[in-house]
Amino acid sequence: MDELPRAGWPNEETAPPGVAERLARDIQAGRFQPGSWLKQIELQRRYGANRSEIRKALEHLASKRLIQYLPNRGYFVHREDDAVAAEIRDIRIMLETSAAEFMARNAAEHHVVELETLAKRFAALLDAGTMVEIYEVNLAFHRALLATTGNHSLVELVSELRLRTSPAPASQWSTRRRMEQSAREHFEIVEALRARDVARLHVIIERHISQPETEEADKGR
Amino acid sequence: MDELPRAGWPNEETAPPGVAERLARDIQAGRFQPGSWLKQIELQRRYGANRSEIRKALEHLASKRLIQYLPNRGYFVHREDDAVAAEIRDIRIMLETSAAEFMARNAAEHHVVELETLAKRFAALLDAGTMVEIYEVNLAFHRALLATTGNHSLVELVSELRLRTSPAPASQWSTRRRMEQSAREHFEIVEALRARDVARLHVIIERHISQPETEEADKGR
DNA sequence: GCGTGCATTATTGGCACCAATTTTGACGCC
DNA sequence: GGCGTCAAAATTGGTGCCAATAATGCACGC
């Protein structure tokens, strides 16, 4: 009498990547043009999945706003909208700066150490790494930073918001100068966190988020 | 050669309510017990829809975290988790207090008037209205308040967050005293907004969100 | 009386096929 | 050459059926 359903995988991270995740990565990596149709038969072949799985994955990504749906037409890759992108950037700033208070309160020392490691790795990759590597470490840093709040829902929420904006060719960051600036700010954040300086955290994080990804938004306004 | 897909309904609000929306409302209203299985055949009958529609709606709500999915078992109504509920409450506080700045900057006079109307209606319903009506007007007030920021994505995001927590029987608010307190705070918010007093807005909104829905969280910790 | 194993039942999941809709391409007309 | 019309092709959407899997109930043995 199993009337008490329990979630299957205790740790979502360790679950095998499904079709939705793979498709999401492909879209994010720009392997599908924004605005192009996602034909179910093609996806079926590409991912070696059946129709049901494909439809489920498509609906999943549609409700995450990664793709859009039109009845009797199908699903197509979401088109970047400058206005919406700006809105989401604002939301991220609201969330991550407000989170500063929780970070300072809840961050343990091992969190700070991990962040420092990631900040160092990011800085090191500026010379040696590819754009994709840099992008991923930056992602990991922000994820880890938010994780210090202890609010897991917050981490996930921001990750989802990122999916909605991150421009397809992740390779095109800003200029070299900006990347170096970002690297410096990462260390500043770690320091401020270690010092439990909420106000300073607030300021740095706001500057940090506004900067790196504003070029498109600035151009568009 | 329509290679330029455009969204169909310009205004999402005016689109006819699909199965997902109806099911979401039914879950929110508590017509399905938390943890109970959502059998596709039953939903098919209930909503007069076919299997594909049902599956789409289920997957949609699952990715919104309103329900959960287990392979080969099906979908079941999401179980309220006090810890997660507290996390989401924190997120809402972060968002709505940070939004104060944008409200003060972007709110037009007609926004303030609309808010005042809603605040009055809320207060009036305390005596004359049903719990559901009060709940709905409160929802409308918060929605309208966020809408003054001009950030439509923010409005939607918070609405989705609400779906994830709002206790099934919306009828059970706190005590009468708290409802009166909420009504007072609504007017305070309107005043602070009219005065463009960001700091005061911040304080009132934080108190306002923390209060009304903490009873379950407080009980659980 | 209680647990175990087995058959039955219920439900999801996948498949093939057909219908409905849309897009594409071609043809003819102005 | 451009435009509208119409047929053909491609794609999504719906249905019924069967397999796979999980829950249920029952009989049996201890």
**pLDDT score at A126:** 92
Please give the distance of CA A19 from its chain centroid, rounded to a whole number: 18
pLDDT band at A165 (very low <50, low <70, confident <90, very high): confident
Range of weakest confidence among A5-14, B110-119, B129-138, B201-210: A5-14
Residue A147 Rama label (left phi>0; alpha psi -120 to 50; beta): alpha
**pLDDT score at B14:** 56
A25 beta partners: none
What 3-state DSSP class applies to A178? helix
Q: Over 90: is that where the pLDDT of A172 sits?
A: no
**pLDDT score at A132:** 82
B28: CB partners within 8 A, 6+ apart: B163, B166, B168, B170
Higher per-residue pLDDT: A170 or A196:
A196
**Consecutive H or E run containing B37:** strand B37-38
Any A CB within 8 A of B63 CB: yes
Query: Which of B213, B214, B208 is closest to B183 using CA atoms?
Result: B208
Report pLDDT digits (tens) over B19-74.
999 999 999 888 999 999 999 999 999 999 999 999 999 999 999 999 999 999 99
Q: Which nucleotides of D are covered by protein (CB under 7 A)?
A: 11-16, 21-25
**pLDDT score at B168:** 53
Query: Which of A153, A121, A158 is closest to A136 using CA atoms?
Result: A121
User: A110 burial class (0-12, 13-18, 19+ CB within 10 angstroms)?
Assistant: exposed
**pLDDT score at B115:** 98
* Residue A50 to residue B192: CA distance in whole angstroms: 56
Cβ(B170)–Cβ(B147) below 8 Å: no
**pLDDT score at B121:** 97
pLDDT band at A215 (very low <50, low <70, confident <90, very high): very low
Distance in angstroms: CA B11, C1' D10: 30
* Residue B200 to residue B178: CA distance in whole angstroms: 20
**pLDDT score at A218:** 44
Percent of chain A with pLDDT over 90: 71
Residues of B within 8 A of A98 (CB-CB) are: 93-95, 97-98
**pLDDT score at B217:** 42
* Residue A142 to residue B54: CA distance in whole angstroms: 37
**pLDDT score at B170:** 55
**pLDDT score at A42:** 95
Per DSSP, helices labelled H in A12-106 are 19-28, 40-47, 51-63, 82-106
Range of weakest confidence among A182-196, B160-174, B187-201: B160-174
**DSSP-derived pairing of the beta strands A74-77 and B67-70:** unpaired
pLDDT band at B178 (very low <50, low <70, confident <90, very high): confident
Report the 10 Å Cβ neighbour count for B95: 22
**Consecutive H or E run containing B68:** strand B67-70
Cβ(A24)–Cβ(A63) below 8 Å: no
Q: What are the C-alpha distances in Å from A104 to residues A170, A188, B38, B180?
A: 31, 14, 42, 35
Please give the average per-residue pLDDT across A1-20, as a whole number: 62
Q: What are the C-alpha distances in Å from A122 to residues A138, A167, A172, A184, A192?
A: 7, 20, 16, 10, 18
At residue B68, what are phi and psi to the nearest 5 degrees? -125, 160
Provide the edge-to-edge strand list for the sheet that holds A37-38: A37-38, A74-77, A67-70
* Residue B1 to residue A192: CA distance in whole angstroms: 55
Query: Which of B130, B119, B120, B218 is closest to B172 using CA atoms?
Result: B130
Residue B102 to residue A88, Cβ atoms within 8 A: no
**């040696």: which residue's tokens?**
A128
Cβ(B104)–Cβ(B197) below 8 Å: yes
Q: Over 60: is that where the pLDDT of B11 sits?
A: no
**DSSP-derived pairing of the beta strands B37-38 and A67-70:** unpaired
* Residue B198 to residue A105: CA distance in whole angstroms: 24
Residue A60 to residue B64, Cβ atoms within 8 A: no
Any B CB within 8 A of A97 CB: yes
**pLDDT score at B4:** 59
Distance in angstroms: CA A3, C1' D28: 27
Report the 10 Å Cβ neighbour count for B74: 15
Task: Compute the mean pLDDT over every residue in chain B, rounded to the nearest whole number.
Answer: 88
Where does A18-174 show beta strands of DSSP type E? 37-38, 67-70, 74-77
Closest Cα in chain B to A91: B154
Report pLDDT digits (tens) over A103-154.
999 999 999 999 999 999 999 999 998 888 888 899 999 999 999 999 999 9
**pLDDT score at B167:** 64
Q: Over 60: is that where the pLDDT of B13 sits?
A: no
Task: Compute the mean pLDDT over every residue in chain A, rounded to the nearest whole number.
Answer: 88
A77: CB partners within 8 A, 6+ apart: A27, A32, A33, A34, A35, A36, A38, A66, A67
Cα of first residue to Cα of last residue in chain A, in angstroms, is: 60
Report pLDDT digits (tens) over B99-147.
999 999 999 999 999 999 999 999 999 999 888 888 889 999 999 999 9
Instruction: List the helix and strand counts (H, then E) for chain B.
Output: 10, 3
Q: Domains in chain B, start-ordered, CATH in brackets?
A: 16-77 (1.10.10.10), 82-220 (1.20.120.530)
Residue A59 Rama label (left phi>0; alpha psi -120 to 50; beta): alpha
Residue A70 to residue B8, Cβ atoms within 8 A: yes
* Residue B125 to residue B119: CA distance in whole angstroms: 10
C12: residue with closest CA to C1': B72
Chain A: nearest CA to B97, how far in angstroms?
9
Q: In residues, how long is chain A?
A: 221
A152: CB partners within 8 A, 6+ apart: B84, B87
Percent of chain A with pLDDT over 70: 84
